[in-house]
């Protein structure tokens, strides 16, 4: 064992399930408070960053640097009139925001914030719980949250809301497949689906470096999974007014808003856990500073990485335009999923050979690097579908169509030539 790693730095599944009830209660309460406060901060941060990108000031009135602006918005939403449309299914309409929000909180139960620490005199890992299939648990619970959006759109009794809900379901199916395939390579290298064991497997080298194509595919999929720009098609205001939450107001709208930002934090925390070493110190600071992975310092490294991913979300929103729906679906099914399948085959082959001792690790890393470059080239440059060039239509005569003058021999109802009158001449063409 390296000198800079303490015996308590690595958690195993046996370390969980032994906490007293009051420790479990404090952990649960802390996760809830952290997510709510992180949501308020992320809303403020997004406004400030996008304002700076667009040469604006952003919120700067409520509190120092405008930090209380998100709280003021929450109070404003709570005091607004709560409207329920007559055509809505009232029960489902009320339950849909709750169904979207609760799973967003539950997914953080298996996210590791740090190693085993001294917590009020008790040794406990900085994680609520863990299980052998923790990553699958996160994906399953996150999928339940999509039902809140779908049911919210359906129960509103509005055509625009229904279209937004249908888009959300199609989007979830398309990009969750690619996301799941991107995680297979991580499971192969970690040898486990437990979040704490995956973090422990990245003590020497992060999976985001040796599994770069999986990392890129996951990053794209997590943007599509959270309905964020440029993939915010379920709430495209230019096409669907407000999308699935068009008919929502007051606290029910606030719950949808809360679920979106917590889901951003969830996929960012999962990306940190699976690809960036989790709570391990970045840039291998632990090789220089022996205490970097001790105590509560790893919590700082973890949230620093999470905020980096959230900044990427904000950056994309302030930079890229929204995709067309057909482009979005084609990108998921024709690019992400095929590349993911090819990459899984390559990683499985290399992993099987390395476990048998047939290839030196250095050559394996070189091979992975070459494959990563090839897949990225296929991903971003691949051949587009050849579309036949449509024949250019003949230009229509300029001016305004003027009905033909009636004649004595004209038969009522017969097709007459259409006359276009311009400022200098009269042009006749076609039939009315």
**Mean pLDDT, residues 355-380 taken together:** 67
**Mean pLDDT, residues 64-79 taken together:** 90
Q: 431: helix, coil or strand? A: strand
Is position 108 within any domain?
Answer: yes
Is position 104 within any domain?
Answer: yes
Per-residue confidence band for 397, with pLDDT thresholds at 50, 70 and 90: low
Is position 2 within any domain?
Answer: no
Can you say how many angstroms the Cα of residue 423 is from the centroid of all Cα atoms in its chain? 57
Per-residue confidence band for 326, with pLDDT thresholds at 50, 70 and 90: confident
Domain span at 291: 7-322
Is position 264 within any domain?
Answer: yes
The number of distinct structural domains making up the chain is 1
Is position 260 within any domain?
Answer: yes
Is position 419 within any domain?
Answer: no
Is position 379 within any domain?
Answer: no
β-pair partners for 429 = 418
pLDDT, tens digit, for every residue of 281-302?
Answer: 988 787 888 888 888 999 999 9
Is position 420 within any domain?
Answer: no
- Whether 395 shows a pLDDT value over 70: the answer reads no
- The percentage of the chain sitting over the pLDDT mark of 70, rounded to a whole number, equals 80
H/E stretch holding 41 reads helix 21-53
Averaged pLDDT of the chain:
82
DSSP 88: S
Long-range contacts of 166-174 (CB under 8 A, 24+ apart): 167/233, 167/234, 167/243, 167/325, 168/227, 168/234, 168/244, 170/329, 171/224, 171/225, 171/227, 171/231, 171/233, 171/234, 171/328, 172/143, 172/146, 172/225, 174/224, 174/329, 174/332, 174/333
């Amino acid at each position: 064992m390296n000198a800079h790693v303490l015996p308590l730095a690595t958690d195993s599944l046996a370390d969980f399930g032994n906490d007293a009830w009051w420790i479990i209660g404090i952990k649960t309460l802390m996760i809830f408070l952290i997510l709510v406060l992180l949501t308020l901060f992320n809303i403020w941060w997004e406004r400030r960053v996008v304002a700076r990108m667009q040469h604006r000031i952003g919120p700067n009135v409520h509190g120092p640097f405008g930090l209380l602006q998100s709280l003021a918005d929450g109070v404003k939403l709570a005091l607004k009139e709560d409207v329920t449309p007559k055509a809505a299914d009232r029960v489902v309409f009320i339950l849909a925001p709750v169904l979207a929000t609760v799973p967003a909180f539950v997914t953080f139960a298996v996210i590791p914030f740090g190693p085993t620490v001294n917590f009020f005199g008790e040794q406990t890992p900085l994680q609520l719980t863990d299980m052998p299939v923790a990553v699958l648990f996160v994906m399953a619970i996150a999928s339940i949250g999509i039902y809140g959006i779908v049911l919210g759109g359906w129960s509103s009794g509005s055509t625009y809301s229904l279209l937004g809900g249908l888009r959300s379901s199609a989007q979830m199916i398309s990009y969750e497949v690619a996301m799941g395939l991107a995680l297979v390579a991580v499971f192969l290298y970690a040898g486990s689906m437990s979040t704490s064991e995956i973090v422990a497997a990245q003590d020497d080298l992060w999976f985001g470096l040796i599994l770069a194509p999986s990392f890129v595919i996951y990053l794209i999929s997590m943007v599509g999974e959270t309905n964020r720009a440029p993939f915010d098609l379920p709430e495209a205001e230019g096409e669907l007014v407000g999308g699935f939450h068009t008919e929502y107001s007051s606290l029910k709208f606030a719950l949808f808003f809360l679920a979106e930002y917590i889901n951003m934090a969830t996929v960012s925390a999962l990306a940190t856990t699976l690809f960036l070493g989790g709570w391990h110190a970045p840039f291998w600071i632990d090789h220089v500073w022996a205490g970097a992975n001790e105590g509560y310092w790893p919590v700082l490294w973890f949230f620093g990485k999470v905020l980096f991913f959230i900044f990427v979300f904000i950056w994309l929103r302030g930079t890229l335009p929204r995709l067309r729906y057909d482009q979005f679906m084609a990108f998921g099914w024709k690019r992400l999923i095929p590349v993911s399948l090819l990459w899984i085959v390559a990683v499985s082959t290399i992993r099987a050979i390395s476990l048998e001792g047939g290839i030196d690790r250095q050559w394996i890393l070189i091979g992975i690097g070459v494959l990563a470059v090839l897949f990225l080239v296929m991903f971003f440059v691949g051949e587009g579908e050849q579309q036949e060039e449509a024949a250019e239509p003949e230009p229509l005569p300029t001016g305004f169509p003027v009905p033909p003058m009636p004649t004595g021999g004209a038969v009522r109802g017969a097709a007459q030539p259409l006359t276009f009158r311009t400022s200098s001449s009269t042009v006749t063409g076609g039939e009315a």
